[in-house]
Amino acid sequence: MSQPEPFQEPFLRITVEEAKRLMDNGTVTVVDVREHWEHANDHIPNSTLVPLARILSRPQEAIQNDHVIFYCEVGQRSAVAAEIAASLGFKNIYNMEGGMTAWRKKGLPVEKE
């Protein structure tokens, strides 16, 4: 009897350090799925705000391309967004584990509105 294939998520979970490397290489789009007020308080430079509610209601409009890092405050909402993107057939979809909480702990740059 053969062993079943291990479950694999349709997206990759990456650390903030891995996310920063991808951002520095300029090969990814960075999407903040938090609410407007959260994004205004602080966000990753050059990220685009697309709240999870918009992704849930109009995913084909909200997600435009491959090579996307999704992030939120701790990584749960962004995992939902990453799963939706992958289910639509987008490739190289990443969830930044730990979200902004982990990003801030590492002392990485943030912007405020």
Tokens representing 109 are 């740059």
In a domain, 1, yes or no: no
Q: How many domains does the chain have?
A: 1
In a domain, 97, yes or no: yes
pLDDT at 104: 98
pLDDT at 7: 43
Q: Is-contact 51 33, C-beta < 8 A?
A: yes
In a domain, 92, yes or no: yes
pLDDT in tens, the chain (113 residues): 455 444 456 789 999 999 999 999 998 999 999 999 999 999 999 999 999 999 999 988 888 888 999 999 999 999 999 999 999 999 999 999 999 999 999 999 999 98
In tens, the pLDDT along 54-82 reads 999 998 888 888 899 999 999 999 999 99
Q: Is-contact 96 16, C-beta < 8 A?
A: yes
In a domain, 112, yes or no: no
Q: Calculate the alpha carbon distances from 5 to 2, 8, 60, 86 in Å.
A: 9, 9, 30, 19
Residue whose entry in the numeric block shows the structure tokens 């509610």: 53
Which domain does 65 fall in, by range?
A: 12-105
- CATH number of 75's domain: 3.40.250.10
